[in-house]
Amino acid sequence: MKSHFMFPLLLVLLCHFFVCESSCINYGEALWKSILFFEGQRSGFLPKDQRMSWRGDSGLTDGVMGGYYDAGDNVKYNFPMAFSTTMLAWGVVEFGDMMPPEELRNTLVAIRWSTDYFIQCVAHRGRIVVQVGDPGIDHNCWERPEDMDTARTVYTVYEPNAASDVAGEMAAALAASSIAFRPSDPQYANKLLSTATRVFGYADTYRGAYSDNLDIRPGVCPYYCDFDGYQASISIHDELLWGAAWLQKAWKLRRISRSNYYLDYLKQHGKTFGATDNIYEFGWDNKHAGLNVLVSQFYVEIEVTIFDSGFQEVLAENLYDFESYKVNADSFICTLVPNSTYPHIKYSPGGLIYRPGGCNLQHTTSLTFLMLVYAKYLEQSSKTVNCGSVTVGPAYIRQMAKRQVDYILGDNPKGMSYMVGYSNKYPQRIHHRGSANPSIKHHFRPIKCKEGTFYYESPNPNPNLLVGALVGGPGEDDEFADDRSESSKSEPTTYTNAPFVGVLAYFAANPQTI
């Protein structure tokens, strides 16, 4: 389907002045490197086929072994880890059939590294492990994960204490992963789904933010508090709705009696839990835009079924119940259209989506993923989006998404790729302890807490290449200093990379998208 308007002229003209045109971008190479990054973040015993060879075993005395370090430190935060897992799984659900078989396998391996860990975290009923590692102590050191001698505190929530945010996201991660694994490992998929159902029960029964727990708060704040995703005072419960949406999608796939329970949950609680609020954020702390895009698929499915069923009246009622999700998903897309009459998101002069706060590329990759997913849903239903002054269709939305991907991979004013190890020019001094310190494979003596300061302050490039890592990225002026002390720009995170895997899978299969 053709869009009704050409891509904004300003962004098209900008492309001609950048060092690397999109024609020189290899999406397939970027895809396998974006997946490889997760091997550099692994905690626990590393397998024999570990490809990020400069890494070694770590976190072997953790109360719960495995999982991922979230960024350039050595703490395992379950809240952002769960979101990263959900996004990896969603990428497989939507675009896995476009991935080369080897990369699909590697993505499923990356997903399982965290889902196996989450299963351990919720193994005991009435108890949820939400984090491993004391961040205050850890952030005071610059040491390799293999050398950790800091406190590996296990932060745990026990019933009846609340954990709707982190438990809701863990339920979403497990449910989404069950869908991703169902074609290749249905037994494991069933285990993930049953665990997700139980974890969601905890999240829904004991409603509230995990960071409000005084035993937990000192360890999770100010790093991964739920700042705005769960606010009881204004009835926003985004992780509960998000978890329910993924459980609905997963149970429906199994076609058994529970398949409509979560659909009813979304209908019953959508308004009171804030689903009708126009919130255009999407990331580890706020699921609203993603929720609206995901649930809008249910709307499309009901709408299509109306015309093939004898139950038009009942289905029409269901259609009305989910209309607000679809309306908000349309509005979200309109905020990304620069020449629409809607208030829209900010772009840098070079054309990059920019949101205030640290690690800007986490917003860019997540929002770009949603663009592609929604373009797919629109195409399936032969729909367009009316943005007031303009009407846009799937082709236009995909072009907007492609512009973001190309910018990240080097088609930008700096001529720099913001993925480590991709192209000839990329960040060399990333804020990452394992990458910046000498590898344990070559420097056998432990590097203690403060001994790593020497390497942190060094002007030299990092000795170990964290291939595929997306850094925080440039500022709103498109400038980037490549300085490991400027963590908001130079630190990679799992939740920046995870959405990008699905995005790259699409463009690797469709490089000439217009």
Answer whether 392's CB lies under 8 Å from 5's CB. Answer: yes
CB neighbours (10 Å) of residue 154?
16
pLDDT band of residue 142 (cuts 50, 70, 90) is: very high
Question: Exposed (0-12), middle (13-18) or buried (19+): which is 120, by Cβ within 10 Å?
Answer: middle
Cis before 446 (ω within 30): no
> pLDDT, tens digit, for every residue of 342-381?
777 899 999 999 988 778 999 999 999 999 999 999 999 8
Structure tokens that stand for 250 in this block: 């997963």
What pLDDT score does 357 carry?
A: 76
Residue with tokens 């005084």: 214
Angle at 275 between CA 271 and CA 280, to 5 degrees: 150
| CATH, range 9-509 | 1.50.10.10
Lowest mean pLDDT among 229-233, 272-276, 361-365, 489-493: 229-233
What pLDDT score does 307 carry?
A: 43
- What value does the CA radius of gyration of the chain take, rounded to a whole number of Å? 22
> pLDDT, tens digit, for every residue of 53-93?
999 999 999 999 999 999 999 999 999 999 999 999 999 99
CB neighbours (10 Å) of residue 306?
16
Mean pLDDT across 194-214: 95
Cα distances from 58 to residues 67, 143, 385, 442, in angstroms, run: 11, 12, 49, 16
Residue 311 has pLDDT above 60, yes or no: no
Answer whether 393's CB lies under 8 Å from 3's CB. Answer: yes
The residues, any chain, with a CB within 8 Å of residue 264's CB and separated by 6 or more, are none
pLDDT band of residue 334 (cuts 50, 70, 90) is: very high
Lowest mean pLDDT among 158-162, 202-206, 341-345, 356-360: 341-345
> Identity (one letter) of the amino acid at 190?
N
Residue 233 has pLDDT above 60, yes or no: no
Residue with tokens 């459980």: 247
By annotation, the residues acting in catalysis are 431
CB neighbours (10 Å) of residue 163?
32
The residues, any chain, with a CB within 8 Å of residue 272's CB and separated by 6 or more, are 235
Structure tokens that stand for 220 in this block: 């999770």
Between 253 and 478, the more confident residue is 478
Which of 211-248 are b and which e, b meaning 16 or more Cβ less than 10 Å from the residue's Cβ? bbbeebeebbeebbbbeebbeeeeebbbbbbbbbbbbb
Query: What percentage of the chain has pLDDT greater than the value 90?
Result: 73
| Distance, CA of 246 to CA of 248 (rounded, Å) | 5
| Distance, CA of 185 to CA of 189 (rounded, Å) | 6
CB neighbours (10 Å) of residue 320?
12
Check the CA dihedral 136-139-143-148 and report its sign: positive
> pLDDT, tens digit, for every residue of 4-59?
333 343 443 344 344 454 458 999 999 999 999 999 999 999 999 999 999 999 99
